[in-house]
A and B are shown apart, each in its own frame.
Chain A
Amino acid sequence: MAIEVRNVSFSYSLDSAFETKVLDGVSFRLEHGENLGILGPTGSGKSTLIQLLNALLIPTQGEVLVDGLNTKDKKNGSKIRELVGVVFQYPENQFFEDKVYDEIAFGARNLKLSEEKVRERVLEAINFLELSADILQKSPFEISGGEKRKVAIASILVRKPKYLVLDEPFAGMDYPGTRALLSLFKNLKGKCSIIVVTHTLDELLGLVDKLLFLYKGRVKAFGDLRSLFDLDELREYVSLIELLSKLKKKGFSFRKSLVDMDSLEEDIVWNVLHGKV
């Protein structure tokens, strides 16, 4: 079970004067159960890539396989969208129902479940996201920003996707909101694979296993998080990596590769305590 992206290119407005190639020969494989971070500057093709993952866009060249199903094959479309749930950037801008309950239930109803089953899934999702049940009768437009973001995520979780794609899930969120979401995402580990598109990786260390770095439509780097830390381009995105490499130059030694702030803290303390001759 995996998402396989094989030599995928994508152009908007193909065969017209406005043809723009946004992805060029992208390949990677994500096993189910692994979490992936997708990094890259604006315009690098991140948003296009995630739309290719759930068959909203079809590659101009190459192919995308979700658990073996090719997105090119039209009859796979609805199955693939069931497997891959996408929470877009600022998802609360797409609310349209009068009540939070219906907003969340919408995705599950589309799976043609009984209303009883739908209700079960809605309750399960808000429970998981630590939303209180009285929110269900409110209008999605009168709740707080943090609640809106959670409702938007709940509306995808009710579909029980195997792969959950999150496009900049922390954009515009304050620190407690970000922390709360992050710890919830960590709880999803094992239930579904998370694919997070982000500008800032610092807070995601500890959540993602693999990293894909896109630059101008090409894969600049893909692999295990730790194996990529010496990459210059990544330093812009992860200030801890920058600090780590500067400390190394100063003669600090690190027992293991940086995975998050906890391990950095341990190693620095260790260096200071054992560094004295």
Chain B
Amino acid sequence: MIRFVDVSFSYGERKVFEGINLEIKKGEWVALVGANGSGKSTLVKLLNAILIPTEGHVLIDGLDTRDEGALWEIRRRVGVVFQNPDTQIVASIVEDDIAFGPENLGLDPTEIRQRVDKVLEVLDLVPFRSSPTYALSGGQKQKLAIAGALAMKPEYLVLDEPTSMLDPPSRREINRILNYLYSKGDLTIIYSTHNPEEIVLARRVIALVNGKIAFDGTPLEFFSNPDMVWEFGIRLPIITHLCYRLRKRGLALTFPVFDPEELIDELWRLKSGM
């Protein structure tokens, strides 16, 4: 479990968080949302001890990020993937890049080999194993960053706007992979995103406003309140937005709806007067 206990954080004079309390249990999939500057990235960095709280404690399975002796274990448990795929690659060949983390753990070579093979397979990167990393596309680089994090066998996979620089097909591919990893049941996923279609994929939404938790609930609860969603700086999923507007025009539609097929069925029913 991840626990934030009365966590405050400031960059010099600028206060980002004040007295945050939060629990994320194993097996959750959390979407962290909020406007630019709301503290999402800071929260992500507090999770694996890149930043240490100014006050309070961040506990990862009971390990305090203030405890320097626990640093390696915390970073193994919490794998982090950042926004820009270009800044996370350390090696020039794909499989070397994945092996970099496990090598630093001092694992024996057979174990490293097994882990690299496994994550290459999971992320559909097998054909690229000997490719130079610079030759990968943006989407492939981001998959490589996720592969590198997974090779550490983390308990928690934390992704900071992992798809914001990717095109829709690559974005869909990353989301498909996260869905697959999550469905296997042994990974906790925490990602920050502005993308409403991605918020819908998560099981829990936490919204930050000016460094405070302003909402904590399911995606369905979240999007049931469009005025609040807009206030948080997030748009509705396109389909949900259209549904909202059609309701305003007097059409008796269920709200919120995420699935286009569902909206189409309801519209067809209305049209045919059933």
Contact = CB atoms under 8 A, between A and B. Distances in A.
Interface in A7-61: 40-43
A275 B273 CA distance: 8
Contacts of A145: 36-37
Given A272-B267, A276-B273, A176 B260 contact: no
Give chain B's interface residue range (CB within 8 Å of chain A): 35 or more
Given A144-B37, A250-B264, A175 B168 contact: no
Contacts, number: 109
Contacts of B200: none
B133 interface: no
A174 B170 contact: no
B174 to A, nearest CB: 12
A202 B164 CA distance: 16
Nearest to A249: B264
A237 B138 CA distance: 17
A176 B233 contact: yes
Contacts of B239: 239, 243
A205 to B, nearest CB: 11
Contacts of A268: 242, 246, 251, 267
Interface in B14-39: 35-37
B166 A199 contact: yes
Interface string A223-240: 000000000000011011
A174 B234 contact: yes
Contacts of A220: none
B184 interface: no
B244 to A, nearest CB: 10
B260 A42 contact: no
Given A239-B238, A264-B242, A265-B246, A173 B260 contact: no
Interface of B: 35-37, 83, 137-139, 161, 164-171, 194, 230, 233-235, 238-239, 241-242, 245-246, 249, 251, 260-261, 263-264, 267-268, 270-273
Which 3 residue pairs across A and B have the least CB separation, nearest first?
A275-B271, A145-B36, A174-B233
13 contacts: A43-B137, A145-B36, A171-B165, A172-B164, A175-B230, A177-B35, A199-B167, A199-B168, A247-B264, A252-B267, A272-B251, A272-B267, A276-B272
Given A242-B260, A246-B260, 9 more contacts: A42-B170, A43-B138, A146-B36, A168-B165, A172-B194, A175-B194, A175-B235, A246-B264, A268-B246
